[in-house]
Amino acid sequence: MIFEYAPAPESRSVVSLRETYDLFIDGEFTPARSGEYLTTLNPADEEKLAQVAVAAPEDVDRAVAAARRAYDTVWSRMSGAERGKYLFRIARIIQERSRELAVLESMDNGKPIKETRDVDLPLVAAHFFYYAGWADKLSHAGLGPDPRPLGVAAQVIPWNFPLLMLAWKIAPALATGNTVVLKPAETTPLTALVFAQICQEADLPPGVVNILTGAGETGRALVQHPGTDKVAFTGSTEVGRQIARAVAGTDKRVTLELGGKGANIVYDDAALDQAVEGVVSGIFFNQGHVCCAGSRLLVQESIAEEFLPRLKERISKLRLGDPLDKNTDIGAINSAAQLERVRELTATADEENVERWSPACELPERGYWFAPTVLTGVSQAHRVAREEIFGPVLSVLTFRTPEEAVTKANNTPYGLSAGVWTEKGSRMLWTAERLRAGVIWSNTFNKFDPTSPFGGYKESGYGREGGRHGLEAYLG
């Protein structure tokens, strides 16, 4: 090799980890009544990062009570302009501490520093800035002259974009005058706990934001707690269903952002090099741990033979390894459990005689790793075309006509995202009109912006986050 990139690791010294982290309730860190702790690992090398308290039902009571108190006495009475000031302050602190947060997120989640630095953190700050701007303009949001907050919001977020999902949940809730109790994912609690410190640094009134760490039991206790007015969840469709069942018959408002099996449709007249890029980032961005990932490639049969070698050549150039290396494109799978799921589902492809391809790529010995994988000869009937793998696995299907592309793209219980690649504007519009997905990307993929609403059709959930639409979920 003429030109081998030398290791370029981002320094960990910007992060000062504590040995143990307690719950953040009523503006203070406080031990869990359970006395239990769980360990969070670096998935890239399985090293322990910290001990994190497991919130018991009594802790959920305490947090909800603190949030209620803060709502009644401070936050709901504060003017929008004043609330906005707090959010602007939080946004600025996030920007100031973005390097530390990006490194910590990479360590706890396993995703490449390139992504946390260039995607996650800028979007997190942008989300707070965006909703800070709405705080004093809610009467102009098209929701009546004086829209009112709901009260206390219970929010449960996933591990794939830990801090970004926190921002998606907390920023609109606070801007609209609600208070929150948020539970980060079991495997990625650390950036949420640093966010709690940021709330302190910003002098946010105690109880407006409460962070409860823990596993599934904690999440269940939180979403079922009778003292909340709103449940917001991002995660698997299976858990989403349980939540919908749990809150049925109550007066709680619910938004669910669940799984997906997004189709990336490549027509024969697409800009091929850019379509290849879009397909690659569509499925391999964040190791495919993306609910709106383009996990199904639908490529027009007439160019499939040309497109696939180009795609594979490009995938061969992806650099897998140390998430903190600035040149890493593909990081680690977030947890042993997720790795097992990805392996298991991908193995069904072998049983179903689907052709499986991965580039020659050395996986590190320690940690949770899965090579980028392309499955060809996939039909709609195969499990890998129907079920969400949530890993770096692309299922390739072909189509012959635009009608067939749309039928196949829609033939899924999900409806979160889709991508369309064509240089022909009329075909783009024709296709987009017929796709049943909450987000449709035109000649691009996985582009996010706080001004744009995001959410699903069908089993991908309901409610919208982001943009003006995102305010509706937190206003009565």
Partner 1 sequence: MPVPHTAFAPEATTNHALRAYLHGLPGVDEVGARARAQDLSTRSIKTTAKAKAIDLAISMVDLTTLEGADTPGKVRSLCAKAALPDPADRTVPHVGAVCVYPDMVATAVEALRGTGIGVASVATAFPSGRAPLEVKLADTRQAVADGASEIDMVIDRGAFLSGDYLKVHEEIVAVKEACGEAHLKVILETGELVTYDNVRRASHLAMRAGGDFIKTSTGKVAPAATPPVTLIMLEAVRDHFAATGRRIGVKPAGGIRTTKDAVRNLVLVNETAGPDWLTPDLFRIGASSLLNDLLMQRTRLSTGTYPGPDYYTQD
User: Amino acid identity of 447?
Assistant: K
State the nearest-atom distance from the C-beta of 327 to partner 1, in Å.
6
Q: Considering all CA atoms of the chain, what is the largest pairwise distance in Å, rounded to the nearest integer?
A: 66
Residue (182 or 303) nearer to partner 1, CB: 303
State the nearest-atom distance from the C-beta of 375 to partner 1, in Å.
18
State the nearest-atom distance from the C-beta of 461 to partner 1, in Å.
29
State the nearest-atom distance from the C-beta of 257 to partner 1, in Å.
26
Burial class (CB in 10 A: 0-12, 13-18, 19+), 35: exposed
Residue 181: how many CA atoms within 13 Å on its side-chain side? 37
The C-alpha atoms of residue 168 and residue 340 are separated, in whole angstroms, by 29
Closest CA to 189 of 36, 38, 340, 366: 38
Residue 147: how many CA atoms within 13 Å on its side-chain side? 24
Which of 105, 186, 291, 387 is the catalytic position? 291
Q: Is 291 assigned a catalytic role?
A: yes
In terms of DSSP bridges, do strands 253-257 and 461-462 run parallel, antiparallel, or are they unpaired?
A: antiparallel
Residue (52 or 270) nearer to partner 1, CB: 270
Residue (95 or 327) nearer to partner 1, CB: 327
**In angstroms, what is the C-alpha Rg of the chain?**
22
Residue (68 or 117) nearer to partner 1, CB: 117
- Which residues in 218-338 belong to E strands, given as ranges? 230-234, 253-257, 263-266, 296-300
Closest CA to 127 of 455, 456, 453, 475: 453
State the nearest-atom distance from the C-beta of 10 to partner 1, in Å.
9
Residue (302 or 451) nearer to partner 1, CB: 302
State the nearest-atom distance from the C-beta of 278 to partner 1, in Å.
7
Residue (114 or 296) nearer to partner 1, CB: 114
CB 107 within 8 A of CB 9: no
CB 465 within 8 A of CB 455: yes
Which of 115, 186, 257, 465 is the catalytic position? 257
The sheet carrying 37-42 orders its strands as 20-21, 47-53, 37-42
* Residues making contact with partner 1 (CB under 8 A): 1-6, 8, 114, 118, 269-275, 277-278, 303, 305-306, 309-310, 312-313, 316-317, 326-327, 423, 443-444
What is residue 457's DSSP assignment?
Answer: S
Residue (245 or 317) nearer to partner 1, CB: 317
Q: What are the Cα distances from residue 131, in Å, to 119, 137, 246, 402?
A: 18, 10, 30, 39
State the nearest-atom distance from the C-beta of 303 to partner 1, in Å.
8
Q: Which residues are catalytic?
A: 257, 291
